[in-house]
Amino acid sequence: MEWPLETPRNGRYPTFWVDKFCIDQRELADGLRVLPVNVMSCRSVLCLCGKTFPTRLWCAWELCVLLSFSSIEQALQQLVVVTLSKQALSELANFDLSKSGCFDPNEEFRLRRVIDAIGGQRFENKIQALGQMILDRETGVSEGLLVPDKRGLSVADSEALGVSHSTEVEEEGNEPMVQVSF
């Protein structure tokens, strides 16, 4: 069977790494050890920021991994955020480690052990800083660092020049598509 998504540009099948499916859920310790390699091998990191995102410890951990091996500016350029809840973005900017957790208490214990080793407050501060910058970028607020778009313009620069930014959810077939226009 021919794979329909093969691209002529690079002549290979597209690759996706989805944490839930690519980490053996029975051997989380092994997945935790190689998570940095997997996350940093990605050109883009898709973040579906819904109402439970700021309280899911695995989500925060993956953001922390991204921040541990790149600057916050690089992390922001790699992150593709689909905002399903603006309240969730605000909560991420005010991330509280004590209010986050995992469905499996064993997973949570393992993650918290690693987080304690790097420092809970340091972890929390990283997630809050990134959360605030994501919130600023996604809502067009000019506080904090705003990452330039492909033309090198920040949201604040674009507004001054009269260039608009918008995010739309469109239906294509039966699947919703999020389109970000600059």
Q: In this predicted model, what pLDDT tens digit does every residue of 154-179 receive, in sequence order?
A: 444 444 434 344 444 444 444 444 44
- The single residue listed with the structure tokens 């969730």 is 88
As a whole number of angstroms, the distance between CA 18 and CA 152 comes to: 30
Roughly what angle, to the nearest 10 degrees, separates helices 120-139 and 105-118?
A: 100
pLDDT tens digits, residue range 136-145?
Answer: 988 887 444 4
- Residue 1 is predicted with a pLDDT of 39
Asked if residues 17 and 45 have their Cβ atoms less than 8 Å apart, the reply is no
Which pLDDT score is estimated for 78? 87
Reported as a pLDDT band with limits 50, 70 and 90, residue 27 is confident
Q: What is the pLDDT of residue 107?
A: 85
- Close Cβ partners of 97 (under 8 Å, ≥ 6 residues apart): 60, 115, 120, 123, 124, 127
In the chain, where are the structural domains located?
Answer: 19-144, 148-182
* Structural element, H or E, at residue 114: helix 105-118
Residues 182 and 180: their CA atoms lie apart, in Å, by 7
Q: What is the pLDDT of residue 41?
A: 79
Residue with more model confidence, 166 or 99: 99
List of residues 6+ apart from 174 with CB closer than 8 A? none
State whether residue 80 is helix, strand or coil: strand
Amino acid 83: pLDDT? 87
Q: How confident is the model at residue 12 (pLDDT cuts 50, 70, 90)?
A: low
Read off the tokens for 92: 């991420």
What tens digit of pLDDT does each residue of 41-97 get?
Answer: 778 888 888 999 999 998 999 899 888 888 888 888 888 888 888 899 999 999 999
Phi then psi dihedrals of residue 70, to 5 deg: -150, 160
Percent pLDDT > 90 in the chain is: 28
The pLDDT score that the predictor gives to residue 9 is: 61
Structure tokens, 18: 């989805």
Average pLDDT, the chain: 74
pLDDT above 70 as % of the chain: 69
